[in-house]
């Protein structure tokens, strides 16, 4: 027993600096933010005292124009479109490339390259592509639709009051579908070859092969893709700031935090941040526990 203890102590020592850093910078600062969110610090001067959960309840009861609820709605639309979009497109690309296409490396690199670009840089061009002019004034993608005689497809993009956030997800889908494709490719290649062979010997059609044999094997991949795209979308800030700037139409909680900080309402900004963290935690923590358990089982 003594020998075993000796062997794990150095391991703990080696990672302890990281643990301390993360304890401070992740959990410590979260604690600090939570603490701040319970106080009445609505300007740069020190707080006068604690107000319980007031800052949270006010977000839902007395926020002017229900601004916070509106930002949550925007986030929901954005998240759904973004997740479905990247997964559908990523899956299609993975299917096209899965059985060793010619020049596979080329296709893969092209599909993946948007991921290398920052949202700030791609925002510069997407602002143009999603130009809202229509008809003869059309620019960007609308001009292509117009030119192709598909005028009915022309869209006000992100300025549409109801579905604007769906348009805002388009650049994000462009950016991250390649990543999801890569996840699916890995998933496909992780499926034992015998499974395919057995199915083929049984006389399965291509469709049946995918539907009944391969897709069920991809559940963990899809789960990863959902978690990764989902948590990215919760944090979405750069893209919105560079395409539309901070404004009502496209406000999500991450942007709202920024706007609130600008007007020096620190406690309210903290409350929104913590709420955002809670949404992420509700999804991610069970997932991490699930991953942990299934690893132990195997």
Partner 1 sequence: MSTETVAATAPAATAPRRGGPAPRQGLPKPVARTIRYGLLVVFVLIVLMPLYVLVVTSFKSGREIGVNGQWNLPETWTFASWAKAWTALGPSFGRTFQLAIPVALISSLIGAANGFVLSRWRFPGADVVFTLILFGMFIPYQAVMIPLRDVVSWLGVAPGIPTLVLVHTVYGIPICTLIFRNYYATIIPEELIEAAQMDGAGLLRTFRSLILPVSVSGFVVTVIWQFTSSWNDYLFAIFLSNTRNGPITIALNALAGAQSPDYAAAMAGALITSLPTLLVYVLLGRWFIGGMMAGSVKS
Partner 2 sequence: MRLSRRVAALAVAFGTMFATVACSSSEEPGEGTKKVEVFTWWADGGEKAGLDGLVGVFKTDCADYEFLNGAVAGGAGSNAKQVLASRLQQNDPPDTFQAHAGAELSDYINDDQLEDLSAQYTEWGLTNAFPKGLIENLTVGGKIYSVPANIHRANVLWSNKTVLAKAGIAKDATTLDGFFADLDKLKAAGVAAPLALGKDWTQQMLFEALLISKLGAEKFSGLWNGATPWTGAEMTAAINDYKRLLTYTNKDRDTFDWTDAEKLLMDGKAAYQLMGDWEAADLDAKGFKDYGWSVFPGNGNTFQWLADSFVLPKGAKNADGTKCWLKTVGSATGQAAFNQKKGSIPARTDVGTDGFPAYQQAAMADWKTATQVPSCPHGSACAQTWQGAVGSAQGKFSSDGDVAALQTALASAAAEFGPKK
Among 35, 61, 208, 247, binds partner 2 (CB under 8 A): 247
**What whole-number distance in Å separates Cα of residue 273 and Cα of residue 270?**
5
**Does position 104 bind partner 2 by CB under 8 A?**
no
Q: Among partner 1, partner 2, none, what does residue 222 contact (CB within 5–8 Å per kind)?
A: none
Part in contact with partner 1 (CB under 8 A); list of ranges 50-58, 72-80, 153-161, 223-231? 223-231
**What whole-number distance in Å separates Cα of residue 85 and Cα of residue 230?**
12
| CB closer to partner 1, 49 vs 203 | 203
Smallest distance from partner 2 to CB 64, Å = 5
Q: Among partner 2, partner 1, none, what does residue 182 contact (CB within 5–8 Å per kind)?
A: partner 1
DSSP 257-284: HHHHHHTT-HHHHHHHHHHHHHHHHHHH
Please, what sign has the CA dihedral across residues 101, 102, 108, 113?
A: negative
The footprint of partner 2 on this chain (CB under 8 A) covers a number of residues equal to 29
Check: CB of residue 155 under 8 Å from CB of residue 199: no
Smallest distance from partner 2 to CB 9, Å = 36
Q: Among partner 1, partner 2, none, what does residue 282 contact (CB within 5–8 Å per kind)?
A: none
Chain positions 119 to 178 lying near partner 1, rule: CB under 8 A, are 119-126, 128-129, 131, 133, 137-140, 143-144, 174, 178
Chain positions 51 to 90 lying near partner 1, rule: CB under 8 A, are none
Alpha carbon dihedral 81, 155, 243, 118, in 10-degree steps, equals 60
**Does position 259 bind partner 1 by CB under 8 A?**
no
Going by C-alpha positions, the residue among 104, 127, 239 that lies closest to residue 176 is: 239
The residues, any chain, with a CB within 8 Å of residue 228's CB and separated by 6 or more, are 179, 183
**What whole-number distance in Å separates Cα of residue 158 and Cα of residue 249?**
8
**Does position 103 bind partner 2 by CB under 8 A?**
no
Distances (CA, A) of 151 to 43, 73, 126: 50, 29, 20
The helix or strand, by DSSP H or E, that contains position 10, with its residue range, turns out to be helix 2-22
Chain positions 14 to 53 lying near partner 2, rule: CB under 8 A, are 43-45
**Does position 237 bind partner 2 by CB under 8 A?**
no
- The residues of the shown chain that bind partner 2, judged by CB under 8 A, are 43-45, 62, 64-65, 67, 70, 127, 131-133, 156, 159, 161, 244-245, 247-249, 251, 258-265
């Amino acid at each position: 027993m003594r020998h075993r203890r000796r062997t794990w102590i150095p391991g703990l020592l080696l990672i302890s600096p990281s643990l301390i850093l993360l304890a401070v910078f992740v959990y410590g600062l979260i604690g600090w933010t939570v603490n701040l969110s319970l106080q009445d610090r609505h300007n740069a001067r020190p707080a006068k005292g604690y107000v319980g959960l007031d800052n949270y309840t006010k977000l839902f009861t007395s926020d002017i124009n229900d601004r916070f609820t509106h930002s949550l709605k925007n986030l929901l639309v954005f998240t759904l479109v973004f997740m479905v979009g990247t997964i559908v497109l990523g899956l299609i690309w993975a299917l096209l490339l899965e059985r060793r296409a010619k020049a596979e490396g080329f296709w893969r690199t092209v599909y993946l390259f948007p991921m290398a670009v920052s949202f700030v840089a791609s925002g510069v061009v997407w602002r143009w592509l999603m130009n809202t002019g229509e008809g003869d004034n059309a620019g960007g993608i609308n001009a292509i639709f117009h030119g192709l005689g598909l005028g009915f497809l022309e869209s006000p993009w992100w300025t549409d009051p109801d579905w604007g956030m769906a348009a805002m997800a388009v650049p994000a889908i462009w950016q991250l579908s390649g990543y999801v494709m890569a996840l699916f490719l890995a998933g496909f290649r992780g499926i034992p070859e015998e499974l395919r062979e057995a199915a083929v010997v049984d006389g399965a059609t291509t469709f049946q092969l995918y539907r009944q044999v391969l897709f069920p094997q991809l559940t963990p991949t899809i789960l990863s893709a959902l978690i990764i795209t989902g948590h990215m979308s919760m944090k979405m800030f750069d893209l919105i700031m560079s395409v539309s700037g901070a404004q009502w139409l496209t406000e999500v909680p991450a942007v709202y935090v920024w706007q609130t900080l600008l007007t020096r309402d620190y406690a309210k900004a903290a409350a929104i941040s913590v709420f955002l963290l809670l949404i992420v935690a509700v999804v991610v923590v069970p997932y991490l526990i699930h991953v942990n358990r299934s690893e132990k089982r195997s």
